Structure 1
Amino acid sequence: MFKKSLLIFILMTAQAFAQTAKQPVPAPSASTEQRGSDKLDIKKLENKYWAAKDEDFGVVQNRRYVKAERFYLTGRAGIPFNDAYSTGTIFGADLGYFFNERWGVELSYNSADMKDNDAVQQFVGTYQVMPNHNIFKSSYFVSGIWVPFYAKMSALDKAIIYFDMGLSVGLGNVNYDIAQVGGNKNESAFGYKLGIFQQIFFSEHFALRADLINTWSNQNQQKYYVPGQSLPNGGTAAAGSRDLGSTMVNDTSLLIGITYWH
């Protein structure tokens, strides 16, 4: 009797399990799906954080004063740095255009008002003769402009100063005088230019600009006195050719001015 009852119980349990297995599994509710979508993707976050470069991100964004597709005009003045014979003032002007925030082109002109420096005056006072030398007069160059640096700087926690720093590389012409007794001889030479500049913007249309400019030109040189000429110190100039050949001359100048941005 017990065995028969146990057999009936097992058969009834098996039948109930089979009916339960045939019922469809309910779909996940909307609240369950929402909780799944809110799960943080840690792997994706790590990949973005350790990415070598994010193309959509700039170190300094929202430039207040832009240069792209704008013309500018600079007026400036300064002094020569490394002229062994002359001192004075150099005046200049630049006209340029920027294609974008990095690259531009510039036409520059410089004119100098020079005189003998203290070294020349001391030499003349000691030996009563003038040294052989050339005198820088003017130059013009066409240059390519590259601006790799742009920054914002706090001034005494009162204001933000916007400035950039760039390089200019150009080709042009250098005009110079060969110092000679009875009247200087004017000549010109092909020149190369390498400049470093920095400008500080204080409005949309005006900026303060400083330039450190190096130029190189292959200049002819000649003796100041005519060979065989009697000298002021009682001697006589050496005989032979007056021509001293040519040499590469480097002129360095520092100029500061105001730039107007159109």
Structure 2
Amino acid sequence: MFKKTLLICILMTTQAFAQTATTPAAKPTEQRGSDKLDIKKLENKYWAAKDEDFGVVQNRRYVKAERFYLTARGGIPFNDAYSSGTVFGADLGYFMNERWGFELNYNSANLSDNDASKQFQTQYGAIPDHNVLESSYFASAIWVPFYAKMSALDKAIIYFDMGLSVGVGNVNYKIIKEEGDESKSSIGYKLGVFQQIFFSEHFAVRADLINTWSDQKQLTYKQNPGYSARDLGSKMVNDTSLMIGLTYWH
């Protein structure tokens, strides 16, 4: 009886193995088209020359668009051959968007003879022929092509931008003369480079490098005996100032 049962089990196992061996292998599931990665689409999105939906630096924390601002600043002139001192100024401006704006500028100078002028007086007994800047005001257009975020010692993020200002206005100056200074004014042109660092929504530190040009009349300091003419003609004078100030954004 035991032998008969063992024989039946062997036959059933053999039959099942044979059926398994003859069954065709299952075909692998074909890759669905929807699972394929479209590399071309990614290239068109992120490597295109211009993509209106993508910017290099997005999500600005401090915006300038449609906002007024007021800056108070002070600094020094550093290209005047005969004068030194301080220059104080103020700016009132408005930005239409993050790139373009305009501002009104006013500067007041407090200058006196520098060491070179004093040495000239000691050596020659006279003051050199020159003019001294008194004040200026300009209407300027502003373009801001640079905006960036910068890490400070891995502790904080600094937000800053850099721009250009181009303006036209008026320059007031005085001609130094022995018998008394003579005040004059002339049309002036301005080219400035500035950078501002924001540290809150309403306040920023601003640094300006300001160049102005004006066509100024030149006279000799002394009326030389025997010479009636003291007019030296006119000269295009460049005044450059480095100024630092605080800006309030409304």
- TM-score, structure 2 as length reference: 0.85
Q: 1:115 Cα deviation (Å)?
A: 0.4
Is 1:107 equivalent to 2:104 in the alignment? yes
5 Å-filtered alignment, 1:199-218, equals 199-218=196-215
State the partner residue of 1:259: 247
- TM-score, structure 1 as length reference: 0.81
Is 1:194 equivalent to 2:178 in the alignment? no
Unaligned 5+ runs, structure 1: 1-31, 229-237
Q: 1:242 Cα deviation (Å)?
A: 1.3
Q: In 1, distance between residues paired with 2:184 and 2:89?
A: 20
Is 1:94 equivalent to 2:91 in the alignment? yes
Q: 1:240 Cα deviation (Å)?
A: 3.2
Q: 1:225 Cα deviation (Å)?
A: 1.0
Is 1:175 equivalent to 2:163 in the alignment? no
State the partner residue of 1:69: 66
Question: CA RMSD of the aligned region, Å?
Answer: 1.6
SS in 2 for 1:166: strand
State the partner residue of 1:25: none
State the partner residue of 1:118: 115
SS in 2 for 1:245: strand
Matched residue type, 1:249: V
State the partner residue of 1:246: 234
Identity of aligned residues (%): 76
Matched residue type, 1:261: W
Unaligned 5+ runs, structure 2: 1-28
Change (3 A) 1:203 1:111: same
Is 1:141 equivalent to 2:129 in the alignment? no
